[in-house]
Each structure stands twice: as C-alpha cells, then as structure tokens.
Structure 1
Amino acid sequence: MRISVVVPVLNDEHHLRTLLEKLASQTRQADEIIVVDNGCTDDSAQIARSAGAKVIVERTRGIPAAASAGYDQTSAEIIVRCDADSIPPDNWLEKVHEEFAGNPAIDALTGPGYFYDLPRGLRTLGSVVYAFGYFAGLGSALATVPLWGSNMAFRSSLWEELSQEVCREGSAIHDDLDLSCASQGSFVLKFVPSLRVKAAGRVYARPAGLRASSKVALNTLARHGGLKGIINRWSAVLGFHP
C-alpha cells in the first residue's frame, strides 16, 4: 500500500522544517508528501520543495479547505494527515502501514499526542487533560473514535465517499472532527494508543484557546445534528430506532 502524507501549512516554516526532517528519517518512507500552501508569506513553500515535497496552493483560507485540497491530490491508498508542528517518531509511518495491512476492516486510525512545548511541569498534565477531553468527551458525542488532525490516517476509499459531505471551507469547523462525524456508521475508526506524536500546545498558548476550540467543536457537532445527532448515533450503535 502506498502512503501519502498531507500537511496543511500557513506561515509555519520552522515547525515544517523539523517535520520534514522527521519524515525523511522514517523507517517506512512516505510515497509522497503533499504540503498545502494556504497563503504562506514566509519560506514554508520553498522549504517543502527543497525537501522533495509536492506543494499545492489553496487560496481559500482555513484548515478545512487546505486539508481537503491535499486529500484530493493524493495518489496513495492510505492518506496520513498531520500538522506542521507534529513531530512523529521514526517508526510512525511503519506503524500506520502495519495497522492497515494487518486489519482490512479498519478504515481510519488516530493516536494521542504529547505537548512538548508547554512549561515542563505542565506537559504531561496538559497532554492528558486534552487527550481525555478530546478522545473520551468527543468520542462520547460521536459514538465512535474522533480523529485528531495532528496524528491520523485513513484509506483513500473513505475520502472518495465522504469528500463532498464534509465542510470544505471556513474556520468555524474542526475538519478532523467533521470527518469523524461523517464517517460514523459507515466506516471503522480505531484509536491506537501506541501511535503517538509530539505536537505544539497551541491550544493552551492562545488566549482562551480551549474555550475557542470547544466552541468550534460544538459548531461542528451542530453541523451533524447537535443533540439529536448524538442520540441518533448512539441509537444506531445500540440498535435502537428512536
């Protein structure tokens, strides 16, 4: 199976350089790396080209548009998505490949992260709190595993079916959560605890970052029916018919 890595980028040259170096040292190399230039005014695009990545330009601002544009351009059976500030271990893509190759029933997978740039005494606590809120809290609302954009992968067949159902513009939607909602009921999503990456703790660094992120999460859930959607998803999982 071929693997494509998609990275949406907006003025993140320093993080991107580190990520591309880590991708170059993978024990299982990506078959292609697609960096989506979402209006960069720094050297992100040039850094990506110098590292051998394919650069495409998406002028509509926002991660939903940038990520979707990247997925549309992939040529591999497996699409891996991360952010420019993700720092994967050297066996990251090897683990992704093993998971999909070993279980044809799985359509998508994701794993946790560790916020490496928080104050030393808060790194573990901040990472655990965020992971619990995201995977347990949102997982309860979705009745399935929520994919996390800093560390996720899915089969191209999933994207082919859902590419016109997800939100492809704006910034008031979490694209990873949106894709997770659209996947529920039709595709198998798996959480892999050992599939870990490091990531920047930007959600804590921004003023009211957690509150803003939670608001966008609620907007995303509202797009998929809000409370009624939650009830319907659990009813389907439990075999009820409300």
Structure 2
Amino acid sequence: MRISVVIPAHNEEAYLPRALGAVAAQTLKPLEVIVVDNASTDRTREVAEAHGARVVLCARKGVAFARQAGLLAARGEWVAMTDADSLPTERWLERLTARAGGAVALYGPLRFYGVSPFEATLSEQGYRAFLNLMALLGRPNLAGANMMLLKEAALWVGGFPEVEAREDVLLGWRLRRLGPVRYVPEALVLTSARRLQGGWGPFLLRQVRNLLGDPRGYFGEGGERER
C-alpha cells in the first residue's frame, strides 16, 4: 500500500519535531510525509523541511482547509492523518494497514500525554468506550489525530466539509455510504493534553455533541448538506 501521512500545522514549531520523529519511527514506512503549513507565522515550515517532510502551503486558516489541502496533495492511494501535537505509536501504520481490506477509512483510539498517569489511563479507556459505543450506533467517530482514508473515496464524497470543527467526524459519516469505516483498537496515538485547556467539562461536552450527531455540522459555511 502506498500511504501518505498528512500533518496539518498552524504555528507548531514546538510540537512538530516529536510528531515527525514518531512518524519516522514507524515499522511500516510511508511513501511520503506532508506537513500542511496552515498560515503559520513561526518556523513551522523550516522545521518540517529540516525533518524531511514535504511542505504544502495553505493560506486559508482553518484545520478543515488544511486537511483538504493535504488530501489533495497526497500521492498515496491511502492518506493517514495525525496532528502536529500527536505521537503515533510505532506500529500505528502497520496496524491500520492490516485492517484496511475492503474499508474506505480506518481510525483508532487516543491517549493524552502530559497529564498524570491516572488521567492518561482514564482518557484512553474512556475514549475507547466512547468509540465502541459510536461504532455500535453506526456513527464512526474519525479523529484527525488518528485516521486513514482511501483517497479516492474521500474525494468522491467531497473531502472535508468546510466547517469550523468536526470536519473529521462529518467526513467519516459521509464515507460510510461507500463502504466500511473501521475502528482499529490496536492503532493507538498519543495526543497532547492541550485539548483540555478549557477543562474536562468542555472537552466531554464536545464528545457528547458527536454522540448526539447534531446535523447542523453539515450546514457550516461552504459545507454540504448530508444526503
């Protein structure tokens, strides 16, 4: 399989080296690593190039636009995505690929780093339970920090919707019309606890919103109504 790894980045010079190091350490080497420089004003581009990544510029600020730019630029038939503050475990690509047969997208669990051991364990086990529940409900919960897409399928459904947030989840719901969107519990990615800057409460509320499946996420500016 030809896999492109895409990492969107806005002012990520501090986090990016570790993320790129984690991708370089994969047991299954990707065809290429793309860093999408999303209107950065720091040294994101220089850091990415110094680590051997191909840099794609995206002047329109917003993670949905950056992900779409990376998807379009990817040369691989599969596009794996993670975030600049995330650390895929070394067999991440290997484990996703092992479950790719017949699927149009795959995704795995997350665990926070930079928190206490108790909070790290709680974050992983809680998120795994959440993903299992979403899968049972037929609502796959793709996460931008840990997912892999069949490029042709993703483009067929229009790619990432132009919304402020949840572009990853919404794309997963579109892709399920074409084929299996498969949860791979073995494909773990560690992700920064800066997502908790507003506290656990707002973070959990965002997950509940995903669970309820607010259809208004399809009606953001430039977004496409789900058919």
Which structure has the larger Rg over C-alpha atoms? 1
The percent identity for this pair of structures is: 27
Gaps of 5+ in 2: 220-225
Whether contact under 8 Å (1:174, 1:220) holds in the other structure is no
- Indicate the residue corresponding to 1:76 in structure 2: 76
> In the aligned structure 2, how far is the partner of 1:201 from the partner of 1:139?
24
- Indicate the residue corresponding to 1:213 in structure 2: 206
- Indicate the residue corresponding to 1:119 in structure 2: 116
Q: Flag the structure with higher helix content.
A: 1
Whether contact under 8 Å (2:104, 2:175) holds in the other structure is no
Q: How many residues align?
A: 219
- Indicate the residue corresponding to 1:29 in structure 2: 29
Secondary structure of 1:76's counterpart equals: coil
Whether contact under 8 Å (2:96, 2:107) holds in the other structure is no
Kindly provide the CA deviation profile for residues 206-235 of structure 1, in whole angstroms up to 9, marking residues without a partner as x.
Answer: 35541663587478632459xxxxxx99xx
CA offset at residue 157 of structure 1? 1.7
1:186 matches 2:181 = no
- Matched to 1:176, the amino acid is D
Secondary structure of 2:182's counterpart equals: strand
> In the aligned structure 2, how far is the partner of 1:146 from the partner of 1:4?
21
- Matched to 1:110, the amino acid is Y
Q: TM-score, normalised by structure 2?
A: 0.85
> In the aligned structure 1, how far is the partner of 2:194 from the partner of 2:48?
22
Secondary structure of 1:190's counterpart equals: strand
Q: TM-score, normalised by structure 1?
A: 0.80
CA offset at residue 139 of structure 1? 4.2
Counterparts in 2 of 1:220 and 1:61: CA distance versus 1, 3 Å:
farther
> In the aligned structure 2, how far is the partner of 1:200 from the partner of 1:40?
19
Counterparts in 2 of 1:121 and 1:97: CA distance versus 1, 3 Å:
closer
Secondary structure of 1:115's counterpart equals: strand
CA offset at residue 191 of structure 1? 0.6
- Indicate the residue corresponding to 2:222 in structure 1: none
Q: Flag the structure with higher strand content.
A: 2
Query: Which stretch has the larger CA shift, 74-83 or 110-119?
Result: 110-119
Whether contact under 8 Å (1:174, 1:216) holds in the other structure is no
- Indicate the residue corresponding to 2:155 in structure 1: 160
